[in-house]
């Protein structure tokens, strides 16, 4: 990988450090005339941009970024997890790939319940049993087989170099490695190299030799470098030591699935998003279609009327999510009904500007806690106008906290995204039912919402974010910020966010999101509030009039746009 030029380095700093007020006209993201990559880590973004400079297309860059993130951003970047890709080619043709993890063959519906039928501790979150069969490597292979233009080895090599030669940790990167030291020591069957006597600190070089070897096998053998041979054997041996249930057959049988994306319209824009087993596309289209009849541009950004109607719609949409959504290969998901105009009109007819609707009146349920939200997203547009949005995850921070001994990567804890017990919330506070119960070979429901927006002039927005249950509402707000509130991409990404997911019945807000006057008005209407430091990390691209690109990299972390 070439070293960053001084000019590009300065641009990276600008893209990472925009902190002025949201609507300040001087606030804008990184501009590029030809191509753009926005991801959670500057090195991964530069890897993707370098692939594009070599003449690679958006799918080539997506593959390279995915593997690079598995090295430089191990809290969520991965080869031991899964995700979704939504794409639009330069001619307007669209598609999506589901490389979500699957329940192992030996999984059982009640595998995380004790003899009394209660949820058994944190077994769906921590340790070997929490892992679904990984899909990320198969997903990248499938993208390459259909769209790849550069040699496969060229796309994986930057990640190998980063793992083998190492990279310098930032302060936040070091903190991420230190964060789960004790839990990693407790849960793993063998010592894990990143847990050492002294804490990691900014300026340390982070080298991952085992991961470099695993990536080298993937580079030379493609899919077989992960799902069979040595890597597969190491995964199964790890499972056997920790009483996990993933087998060689599980790995050999895993297949990503091409799916037709969901397509809707909002104020003359075409919205292209992920279908089930992601709940993101259905929920996003429900939100947009339901709010379209309200003049929120006239109300104003974060006006009490805007917040009230957004929140009331979100309550109803998340209640539908809990009841109806799951893996369409195992459960008949009523997508047509959920997106029907009359259904949504009836569903939202009880919204009243005089008072908030209590969530228990929408549907029964109870939620006590929402935990960490570790996923990652990247958006790419190439010089030909092809666009790819990819959201990928281990689920929690470092997934199950289990590193495959000898292979150097963490496994996911996606089994918690199933409805472990009907009506009992998962780590994100999301309640599920029969549609999302555990079945062998089934994909667990997700909130990941990679999305592309276009209009009569062509491509307009590529967007997505991590954030667990807040992913859907973060993408929703980002689109509203551009389409209704006239923000540029960086302003839309910087804007303070809020979230309601039906249960618990409160509005989650970032610090200083609302003025005291607006908050008092909403409290009088019956809304309750809870503050959180940050919500989501949106990485997005906006096509400007004339065809140039603006990358919006989220300033809440070290997310970075690289364009040329």
Catalytic center residues: 375
Using DSSP's 3-state secondary structure scheme, residue 429 falls into coil
Across the strands, what pairs with 87? 95, 388
Cα gap 119→426, rounded to integer Å: 10
What is the helix, strand, coil percentage profile of the chain, to 5?
Answer: 35, 20, 45
State the DSSP string of 385-448: S-EEEEEEEEESTTTTS-B-TTT--BPP-GGGGS-SSTT---TTS----GGG---TTPBPPB--
Unique residue bearing structure tokens 């895993």 = 254
Q: Which has the closest alpha carbon to 277: 317, 319, 325, 323?
A: 325
Q: Is the CB of residue 254 less than 8 Å from the CB of residue 227?
A: yes
DSSP string, 539-561: EEEEEPTTS-EEEEE-TTTT-EE
Order across the sheet with 507-510: list the strands: 498-499, 507-510, 529-532
Closest listed residue to residue 231, CA positions, set 65, 66, 80: 80
Which H or E run includes 266? strand 262-266
Backbone angles phi, psi at 14, to 5 degrees: -60, -45
Listed residue (425, 420, 455) closest to 437, CA to CA? 420
């Amino acid at each position: 990988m070439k070293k960053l030029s001084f000019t590009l380095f300065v641009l990276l700093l600008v893209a990472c450090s925009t902190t002025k007020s949201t609507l300040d006209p001087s606030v804008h993201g990184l501009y590029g005339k030809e191509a753009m990559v926005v991801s959670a880590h500057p090195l991964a973004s530069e890897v993707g941009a370098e692939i594009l400079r070599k003449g690679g297309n958006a799918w080539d860059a997506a593959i390279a970024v995915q593997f690079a993130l598995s090295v430089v951003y191990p809290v969520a970047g991965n080869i031991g997890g899964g995700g979704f890709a939504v794409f639009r080619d330069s001619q307007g043709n669209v598609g999506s790939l589901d490389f979500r993890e699957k329940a192992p063959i030996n999984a059982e519906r009640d595998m995380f319940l004790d003899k009394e039928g209660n949820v058994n501790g944190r077994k769906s979150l921590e340790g070997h049993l929490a892992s679904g069969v990984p899909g990320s490597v198969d997903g990248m292979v499938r993208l390459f087989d259909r769209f790849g233009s550069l040699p496969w080895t060229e796309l994986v090599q930057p990640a190998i170099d980063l793992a083998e030669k190492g990279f310098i940790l930032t302060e936040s990167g070091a903190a991420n490695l230190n964060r789960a030291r004790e839990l990693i020591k407790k849960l793993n069957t063998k010592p894990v190299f990143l847990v050492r006597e002294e804490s990691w600190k900014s300026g340390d070089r982070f080298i991952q030799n085992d991961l470099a070897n695993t990536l080298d096998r993937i580079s030379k053998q493609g899919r077989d470098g992960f799902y069979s041979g040595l890597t597969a054997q190491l995964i199964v041996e790890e499972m056997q030591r920790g009483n996990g249930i993933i087998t060689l057959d599980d790995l050999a049988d895993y297949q990503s699935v091409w799916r037709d994306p969901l397509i809707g319209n909002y104020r003359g824009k075409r919205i292209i998003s992920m279908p089930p087993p992601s709940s993101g596309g259905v929920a996003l289209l429900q939100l947009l279609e339901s709010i379209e009849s309200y003049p929120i541009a006239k109300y104003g950004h974060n006006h009490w009327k805007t917040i009230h109607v957004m929140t009331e719609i979100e309550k109803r949409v998340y209640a539908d999510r809990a009841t109806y959504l799951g893996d369409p290969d195992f459960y008949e998901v009523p997508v047509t009904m959920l997106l029907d105009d009359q259904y949504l009109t009836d569903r939202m007819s009880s919204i009243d500007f005089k008072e908030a609707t209590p969530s228990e009146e929408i549907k029964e349920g109870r939620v006590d806690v929402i935990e960490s939200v570790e996923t990652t997203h990247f958006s790419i547009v190439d010089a030909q106008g092809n666009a790819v949005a990819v959201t990928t995850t281990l689920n929690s921070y470092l997934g199950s906290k289990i590193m495959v001994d000898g292979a150097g990567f963490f496994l996911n804890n996606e089994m918690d995204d199933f409805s472990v017990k009907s009506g009992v919330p998962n780590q994100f506070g999301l309640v599920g039912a029969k549609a999302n119960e555990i079945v062998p070979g089934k994909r667990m429901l997700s909130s990941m919402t990679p999305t592309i927006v276009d209009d009569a002039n062509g491509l307009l927005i590529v967007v997505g974010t991590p954030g667990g249950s807040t992913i859907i509402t973060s993408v929703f707000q980002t689109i509203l910020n551009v389409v209704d509130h006239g923000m540029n991409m960086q302003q839309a990404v910087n804007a303070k966010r809020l979230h309601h997911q039906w249960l618990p019945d409160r509005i989650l807000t970032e610090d200083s999101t609302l003025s005291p006057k607006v908050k008092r008005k909403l409290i009088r209407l019956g809304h309750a509030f809870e503050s959180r430091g940050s919500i989501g990390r949106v990485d997005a691209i906006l096509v400007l009039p004339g065809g140039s690109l603006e990358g919006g990299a989220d300033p809440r972390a070290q997310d970075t746009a690289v364009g040329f």
